[in-house]
Structure 1
Amino acid sequence: MRIAEVVTGTYRIPLAEPWVSAKYRITHHEYVVTEIRTECGLTGTGWCQTIGVGGLAIEQLLAAYLATTLVGEDPRNTERIWSRLWDECHFLGPAGVTTLALATVDIALWDIKAKAANAPLYRLLGGMADSVGVYASAVNLHLTQDQLLAQVEAQLALGYETFKIKIGRNDPIDDLDRMRAVRKLIGPSRTLLLDVNQRWTSGEALVQLTALREVNPGWIEEPMLSDDVAGHAHLRRTCGVPIAVGEQLGNRYDFWAYIRDAAADVLQPNVWKVGGVGEWMKIAHAAQLANLVIAPHNSLELSCHLVGAIRNGYLVENIFGGNLSDLGVVEQPITVTRGRIELPQQPGHGVVFHRDRLGAYRLDPGRPVQREPSVHAGVGAGAELTQAADFH
């Protein structure tokens, strides 16, 4: 079996409504989709996502430098191909654009590999479970308290038992009041996860988490800048709340630093950001040696296969409004039933993009993207909250 052709493109898809976290205001997701076709007729599809910046750079790295070097390779040699591309691109950078580009290739290769084995991806990778748990996630810092409670109530009605809420408003008392209200709504036995998107300093994190222990968080996600491994290790020893990190970490070495320094309780590798399926599995197995659980960030349709393959998988994240099914660009939407996914049984990962719908969002590599800056000053009071409420 040999690779005959590699085709890639970038698609800028608008969200139904803007998302606001402690750091970003997000209006679009950009998807870079790579299709690898073989001489024997098997085709694999891989993709990565950015929050609205950089998709065209990833596409050009693939199209101008990497795609032609794949022709003639056996697509089942995933480790060999990934290692060569990693070595070629490492001077450009060990993460970021580099690993996002490699992820689209690696995911497509594993799709082919599973199809050739006539097996769903999760079973080829390990087959630990045929169904996986899912938690409800949303980017909701800008919502009023009443809007937030209405959102969580709707998720409760769908049968979810675990909920992730954005915090990090300008007034920390506002955060605490909102989380008290959410805890009251979901009751004492359900799980409440908190995500501050790296907003706090080390001292702020300790003070805020001391107060937030009242609502019994299942974890605090990204309490500080993800580059600060030592700070997370100190916080983990002192704050009394489990630490979850990984959304912004870009390769296995970043995760190893957290494992080595006992700086986290839960690791959240994003399959796109770490370079694809093979690298994600290496991180999961390394975490197992340290008795850590894995709760992958984003990519619902692919993350369900990954969690289903491993022993130390926790839950899959469903970011409402942000998965491929909600965006309406896949032919077979994934179904979450009362907080669980029965894993797809067709060979491969099962994701088939709806080409006409996806094609409507195609970016022209030669044309500048018209957009507003995505980083904002904060949410929480006065004009900021009024402006945020105008999104609805």
Structure 2
Amino acid sequence: MKITDIKIDVVKRELPDTGLSSDLGRFFGEVEQGVLRIFTDEGIEGNCFVGEFRNGGESLYNPILKVLKTELIGGDPSEREFLWNRLRLLTSRRGMNMSAWAPVDVALWDIQGKAAKMPVFKLLGTQRYEIEPYATYPPRHTSYKGYVEEAKEIVTDGFKAYKIHPGAMNTTDTIQMVNKVREAVGDEVELMLDPNCGYDFRKAFDI
């Protein structure tokens, strides 16, 4: 099997305005992301999203289409290690970065899974077939009361785990909010706190 072409389809979507600012700023409006498409001579296509929900994927398109594409065309999609071994050279000489290589690696795995008619997790060597889901929302509350109601709704819907996004809530209010949520849902529900990389060491330690 050989790689014959690589394209990126651009998808634009609207992020809703929650009315709140998070630790990393306030994100809403139009965001552009890419859908990576790696084609092969056997008709199998590998796919992966390019970019992330806040900043889109535009900065990654050129490294993929102008650097990695020339490395991949005509190659065997199963030879992922070949590219991994060239990353240092491509980074130093041609402006490559890991963020651009990551979706390509996923798309190449996608091709292998489709060729083997197996999900990729089996190719990687699975140890389990089920995983407990959790529920979450973007930061959309300014006090603990909103998070308590959100947690109750999630538990009522059957979830046993809840990831909380506190947004720009300060340390004292965050601690109070988590305690109130714990009181509301009991000890059987797993709670997670995700500040979206917004804490420094001191704030993370205190919370």
Corresponding residue for residue 25 of structure 2? 24
Cα shift at 1:77: 1.0
In the other structure, the counterpart of 1:6 is 6
CA offset at residue 72 of structure 1? Answer: 0.5
Is the alpha carbon distance of 1:104 and 1:171 closer, same or farther for their aligned partners in structure 2, counting shifts above 3 Å?
A: closer
1:209-228 to structure 2, matched below 5 A, reads: 209=207
Aligned residue in 1 for 2:201: 202
Q: Which residue of 1 aligns with 2:110?
A: 111
Instruction: Evaluate the alpha carbon distance shift between residue 155 and residue 204 of structure 1 in structure 2; reply closer, same or farther with a 3 A threshold.
Output: closer
| Correspondences of 1:234-313 after superposition (within 5 Å) | none
Tell me the equivalent position of 1:46.
48
Please name the residue that 1:98 is paired with: 97
Matches of 1:58 and 1:138, distance apart in 2: 27
Q: Quote how far apart the aligned CAs of 1:165 are.
A: 1.2
- Identity percentage over the alignment? 27
Q: Distance in 2 between matches of 1:43 and 1:205?
A: 43
SS at match of 2:133: strand
Whole-Å separation in 1 of the counterparts to 2:156 and 2:93: 50
| Alignment-mate amino acid for residue 113 of structure 1 | Q
1-side partners of 2:66 and 2:72: how far apart?
A: 12
| Cα distance, 1:157 vs structure 2 | 2.0
User: Does the CA-based 8 Å contact 1:10-1:59 persist in structure 2?
Assistant: no
Structure 1, residues 23-82: CA drift from partner, whole Å, max 9, x if none? Answer: 232225542221111111111112233233252121122122321331100111121133
Aligned to 1:125: 124
Task: State the distance in 2 between where 1:115 and 1:205 align.
Answer: 42
Q: TM-score, normalised by structure 2?
A: 0.84
Matched, 1:57 2:44: no
Distance 1:117 1:143 in 2: 49
In structure 1, what is the Cα distance between the partners aligned to 2:88 and 2:107?
Answer: 16
Any idea what the Cα deviations from partners look like across 1:75-106, whole Å, max 9, x if unmatched? 1112113332453124567xxx7222112211
SS at structure 2 position matched to 1:50: coil
The count of corresponding residues between Structure 1 and Structure 2 is: 205
The offset of 1:169, in angstroms, is: 4.1
In structure 1, the residue corresponding to 2:131 is in which secondary structure? strand
1:12 and 1:52 in contact (8 A); partners too: no
TM-score by length of 1: 0.47
Q: Measure the CA separation in 2 of the matches of 1:112 and 1:204.
A: 43
Q: CA offset at residue 164 of structure 1?
A: 1.5
Q: Could you say what secondary structure the match of 1:106 adopts?
A: helix
CA distance in 1, matches of 2:21, 2:161: 21
Give how far 1:154 is off.
2.1
Which whole-Å deviations, capped at 9, do the CAs of 1:201-243 have from their partners, x for residues lacking one? 434443x23xxxxxxxxxxxxxxxxxxxxxxxxxxxxxxxxxx
Task: Quote the RMSD (CA, aligned, Å).
Answer: 2.5
Shift of 1:200: 4.0
Change (3 A) 1:151 1:168: closer
**Alpha-carbon distance between aligned partners in 1 of 2:184 and 2:51, rounded to the nearest angstrom:** 33
| Gap runs ≥5 in structure 2 | none
Counterpart position of 2:68: 66
**Preserved CA contact (<8 Å) 2:33 2:56:** no
- Kindly provide the amino acid, as one letter, of the partner of residue 22 in structure 2: S
Cα distance in 2, alignment partners of residues 198 and 124 from structure 1 = 32
Distance 1:91 1:149 in 2: 52
5+ long unaligned stretches in structure 1: 210-392
CA spacing shift, 1:89–1:156, aligned 2, 3 Å: same
Report what 1:152 is aligned to.
Answer: 151
**CA–CA distance in structure 1, aligned partners of residues 167 and 114 of structure 2:** 44
